[in-house]
Amino acid sequence: MKKLIIFTDLDGTLLDYSNYSFEAALPALDLIRERNIPLIICSSKTRKEIEHYRNKLSNLHPFITENGGGIYVPEDYFKFNMQDSQFKIEEAAGYKLIRLGAAYPDLRKALQKLRHEGFDVKGFGDMTGEEVTVVTGLSIEEAEMAKQRDFDEPFLVKGSGEDTERLLERIQGMGFNYTQGQFFHILGNSDKGKAVSILTDLYRKQYGGTVTVAIGDSPNDIPMLNRVDHPVVVRKHDGTYDRRINMPGVVKADGIGPRGWNSAVMKMISRLG
C-alpha cells in the first residue's frame, strides 16, 4: 500500500487568517496522528516560526521554510543516509538541511538597490518587530521570529499597479524571483514545488510508493500544488477561492482556511489513507 504524505501551507490554510488558530482542523489533525501520516509544513514562514507551530501541533516530521528555501529533516528521521543523496546536506541544530534558496544578505542588498532606483519597497528586515506586528497581526514574539530569515524576504510596495509590475519585472531582471502570499516575497531560484519534489523522492526511498496531497490558498502555493497527486485549495478569508489557482484536478475544499482544510483532509484520508 502506498504511503500517504500531506504537505500543507500555514497562513490562511491550516491557520485561520485572523487569529492564526488551527482549532477548526483538530479532528483531521487527530486522525493524521492516529494513522501516522507525515504532515509536512511547507510555508513562507521562517524556521523559528514553523518550529513554534510544530511544537503546538506535536509534529516531528520534516518541514519546508521560506517558500522552498530550505528543507529541514530531523536527525535520523529517514533510515537511509541522506549524505548519499545528490544534494549537499548541511548540519543545522538537530536537522539535516537541504539549502535551495538565495542567501538572505543578497536579497537585502537587492531591496536596497531597488529603493535607490526609486521603488517604494520595505522588507521585514527594514521593520522593527512592532512594525511587523502591525502589518501581520502576529504577536511581538512571533514577529521577531518572522524577522529571522535565511532564504526569502517579504516586502511591502507602495505605488500604482503599473509601478508594481515594473518592480516585479526589475526583480527578475536582477536575477531574482518573486512570489505572493499575504505579502510579496523576493527570493532566489527556489519555490515550494522544488522542495516538495525533493522531499517526496526521499519518502519514496524510505517507503517505496507514495501518494501525495498538498493544501494551499495563495499563488505562492501553486508550485507545491503542481507537484503532488492531489492538490487542494481552501477558501480565502472572504469566502472565495484564489482564481489564479486553476491547475487540472484541483479539489476545492468546502470551507475557509482550517475549516476547509479539515473537511478536505478527512475526505482525502477516507479515500486514500
Side-chain half-sphere of 159: how many Cα atoms within 13 Å? Answer: 16
pLDDT cut 90: percent of the chain above it: 88
Instruction: Tell me the pLDDT band of 47, cut-offs 50, 70 and 90.
Output: very high
- Asked whether residue 245 carries a pLDDT value surpassing 70, the answer given is yes
Q: Which residues are catalytic?
A: 9
- Asked whether residue 84 carries a pLDDT value surpassing 80, the answer given is no
- Asked whether residue 64 carries a pLDDT value surpassing 70, the answer given is yes
Mean pLDDT calculated for residue range 149-161 = 94
What pTM value is reported for the model? 0.93
- Asked whether residue 87 carries a pLDDT value surpassing 80, the answer given is no
Please choose, from the candidates 116, 136, 114, 115, the residue with its C-alpha nearest in 3D space to the C-alpha of residue 124.
Answer: 136
| Cell matching residue 104 | 538572505
pLDDT cut 70: percent of the chain above it: 99
Mean pLDDT calculated for residue range 111-127 = 96
Q: Given this model, what pLDDT does residue 85 score?
A: 64
Q: Distance between CA atoms of 11 and 53, rounded to whole angstroms?
A: 11
Instruction: Tell me the pLDDT band of 252, cut-offs 50, 70 and 90.
Output: very high
Residues of the chain with CATH 3.30.980.20: 104-187
Average pLDDT, the chain: 94
CATH superfamily, with its number, for domain 3-101+191-272? HAD superfamily/HAD-like (3.40.50.1000)
Mean pLDDT calculated for residue range 71-92 = 86
User: Phi/psi of residue 108, each to 5°?
Assistant: -65, -40
Residues of the chain with CATH 3.40.50.1000: 3-101+191-272
Instruction: Tell me the pLDDT band of 80, cut-offs 50, 70 and 90.
Output: confident
Q: Given this model, what pLDDT does residue 48 score?
A: 96
Instruction: Tell me the pLDDT band of 273, cut-offs 50, 70 and 90.
Output: low
- Asked whether residue 174 carries a pLDDT value surpassing 80, the answer given is yes
Q: Given this model, what pLDDT does residue 61 score?
A: 98
Q: Given this model, what pLDDT does residue 86 score?
A: 74
- Exposed/middle/buried for residue 135 (C-beta within 10 Å: 0-12, 13-18, 19+): middle
Q: Which fold has domain 104-187?
A: Threonyl-tRNA Synthetase; Chain A, domain 2 (3.30.980)
Instruction: Tell me the pLDDT band of 17, cut-offs 50, 70 and 90.
Output: confident
Please choose, from the candidates 107, 226, 142, 236, the residue with its C-alpha nearest in 3D space to the C-alpha of residue 181.
Answer: 236
